[in-house]
């Protein structure tokens, strides 16, 4: 196992995950505006992809996670301006981490290489939105969400996964000094 290759894959994936998160946020903002005719009201505004959650639950998991981290690290909740940065950082850090894992596994796992961006986005949606978020108390039970909310989140995660893969592939190519098409 080549640690350099895995590190390059993780870096490429993390960069892809940042781009995927950016694309996902804008897709979700477009969906909310087009389908519901409203703009996101979260502290992070257009840079926060949890606007569907605010409409349905009156809360935002990125803001909850940022506030929890602040209370445990600086001993107080964040004000609205700080929360704008904190909620955005939480979401982009999660996207980069997921992309980094995907990129690292892409280097060593034939199954991950076959998976592709759409399957990666689907996996993140199922594991994070449908299972982990409710279990961690960051969202309500998925059984209480109407079908449109699931479709909205699923479609946004497809955008995340496909964008992550496209950018990961391009960055990984640039990090390959041989440019042979195979990972180095």
pLDDT at 182 over 70: no
pLDDT at 147 over 80: yes
Give the separation between CA 96 and CA 90, rounded to whole angstroms. Answer: 10
**Mean per-residue pLDDT, 93-99:** 97
SS3 22: helix
Write down the pTM of the prediction: 0.89
pLDDT at 183 over 60: no
Q: Does 115 fall in a domain?
A: yes
pLDDT at 155 over 60: yes
**Mean per-residue pLDDT, 123-128:** 96
Q: Does 104 fall in a domain?
A: yes
Distances (CA, A) of 126 to 2, 30, 37, 121, 156: 30, 22, 27, 9, 12
Q: Does 105 fall in a domain?
A: yes
How high is the pLDDT of residue 50? 64
Q: Does 179 fall in a domain?
A: no
Q: Does 181 fall in a domain?
A: no
How high is the pLDDT of residue 23? 95
Structural domain range at position 19: 3-174
Q: Does 183 fall in a domain?
A: no
Query: How many structural domains are present in the chain?
Result: 1
């Amino acid at each position: 196992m080549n640690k350099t290759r895995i590190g390059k894959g993780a870096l490429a994936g993390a960069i892809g995950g940042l781009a995927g998160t950016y694309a996902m946020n804008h897709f979700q903002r477009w969906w909310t505006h087009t389908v519901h005719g409203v703009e996101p009201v979260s502290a992070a505004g257009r840079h926060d992809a949890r606007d569907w959650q605010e409409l349905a639950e009156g809360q935002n998991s990125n803001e909850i996670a940022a506030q929890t981290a602040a209370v445990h690290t600086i001993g107080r909740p964040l004000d609205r301006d700080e929360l704008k940065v904190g909620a955005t950082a939480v979401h982009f850090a999660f996207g980069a981490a997921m992309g980094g894992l995907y990129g690292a596994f892409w280097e060593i796992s034939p199954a991950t290489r076959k998976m592709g961006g759409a399957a990666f986005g689907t996996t993140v949606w199922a594991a994070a939105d449908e299972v982990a978020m409710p279990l961690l108390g960051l969202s309500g039970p998925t059984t209480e969400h109407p079908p449109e909310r699931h479709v909205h989140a699923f479609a946004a995660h497809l955008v995340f996964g496909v964008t992550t893969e496209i950018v990961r592939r391009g960055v990984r190519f640039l990090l390959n000094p041989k440019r042979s098409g195979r990972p180095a």
